[in-house]
Structure 1
């Protein structure tokens, strides 16, 4: 006749059963799988658009970094199981770009998207001799042998615009009167430089904010002028 198990015996049997179920044999193998990446090529590319002759002071330029890796995958026994090439077209983000013009070197920088927004009417270029300016050179450098260059020609029409516009944009405003302000705003519009015209107008609004009478005179003259 079998006797029923005592409560403590039941608990002991259950504990042994659970322990046995939780124990697993560790996997065999000498090492975990791994991946090796070998850099095959590293280049930079400057994309200034299809038209390489500048007819406007503005040009958006894209700079990209191109990386080609050979990727090798190994199994746990360190045997090659796969080999492939991995190609990346990355933006050259927040990186320096050198611009050479008229024998002078300028340091520019791309934004977080790898874009360089060139403006030949920005303040750093006002000392250039636009009459003789024929070409500008852009240089991106990631290392001694990793260099990209791009030349942009400056059209005759643009040289003429730059020679006149640089004074319209940068001459001292406080030494001019309202009539001259209006002329400069309208003339920039006539030259096709709407961005600079609007910036000058906004700058004059800020300049006259402390003189309501002068600001009213400026606004009335602006309203009465015939803008293109």
Structure 2
């Protein structure tokens, strides 16, 4: 009795398995190919180029900062393989069974005719009609349909093609930089080329007494990868002795001065070795007198005569 019961359960399980597996009409498999690149960061460092000379002799300095990375780059060709099948829908059997019968009859007729025609008929008539017909007659299987096809990922194959080391050195573009001058710390920003423009006669350093500050400490950090670096830019004794006088020459009130005092300011800045600041003040005064051509010409002549500077005539104001 037990043996008969066990046999019945086994037969039922086998039939159920065949029934379920028979419901899906398998189609030809499909594959997708793509290339994948993996980039592994090996090293991340920052570089600060304080420029030349190593000691700051003039108020202005351009400091260049670079973000340097080393990567291990691996290229793969990836193939994804999919099993495709037509899912079973029972209601389709209402028209597939009659069509299947017609297809079987047609396929048999085509095969008989193919014998007479010495095998000249295409396989789509002699073989495909038969396959379609029997799939249609099977009540537990739908015929193949690419329009209703579904797919399952069956496997992924990866083949490594290349493995190399790449280096990158990019400007620290529009990123923060910390500059420490004595007890004060300033948060500055580089330009899009990764250049930090320092000017001890301009904000924020102009508001600080720098006579006793011997160096600037420049610090850069990338918190994402914990990359950090600091560089020291010493300030010469000579420059520190000139900063207060240069600041007064540039920022003290100009409008109440005579032309001779304007010329003296430009000339004195040049004598201090600050030619860039002298030229900037000169252009500011030319712009200030734009609406007074007579005063402007007086200033230009005095610059040439008393300061020995060659100044191009800006021409009439528009």
TM range (shorter): 0.7 to 0.9
- 1:94 Cα offset (Å): 1.9
Q: Which residue of 1 aligns with 2:231?
A: 150
CA distance in 2, matches of 1:102, 1:167: 22
Tell me the TM-score normalised to structure 1 length: 0.79
Structure 2 counterparts to residues 14-29 of structure 1, below 5 A: none
- 1:211 Cα offset (Å): 2.7
Q: Unaligned stretches of 5+ in structure 1?
A: 1-25
Q: Secondary structure at the match of 1:78?
A: strand
1:111 to 191, 200, 222: 191
2:286–2:296 CA contact under 8 A, matched in 1: yes
Structure 2 counterparts to residues 123-202 of structure 1, below 5 A: 123-143=203-223, 145-202=226-283
More helix by share: 2
1:102–1:129 CA contact under 8 A, matched in 2: no
1:37–1:71 CA contact under 8 A, matched in 2: yes
Structure 2 counterparts to residues 1-228 of structure 1, below 5 A: 31-49=33-51, 51-76=53-78, 77-143=157-223, 145-227=226-308
CA distance in 1, matches of 2:44, 2:280: 41
Tell me the TM-score normalised to structure 2 length: 0.58
Alpha-carbon RMSD: 2.3
Q: Secondary structure at the match of 1:32?
A: strand
Cα separation, partners in 2 of 1:220 and 1:142, compared to 1, 3 Å: same
Higher relative contact order (CA 8 A, sep 6+): 2
Cα separation, partners in 2 of 1:75 and 1:185, compared to 1, 3 Å: same
1:123–1:170 CA contact under 8 A, matched in 2: no
Structure 1 runs (4+) deviating above 6 angstroms are none
CA distance in 2, matches of 1:203, 1:50: 28
CA distance in 2, matches of 1:172, 1:125: 19
Structure with bigger gyration radius: 2
CA distance in 2, matches of 1:27, 1:211: 87
Q: How many residues align?
A: 203
Cα separation, partners in 2 of 1:80 and 1:155, compared to 1, 3 Å: same
- 1:146 Cα offset (Å): 1.7
- 1:122 Cα offset (Å): 1.8
- 1:107 Cα offset (Å): 2.8
2:264–2:307 CA contact under 8 A, matched in 1: no
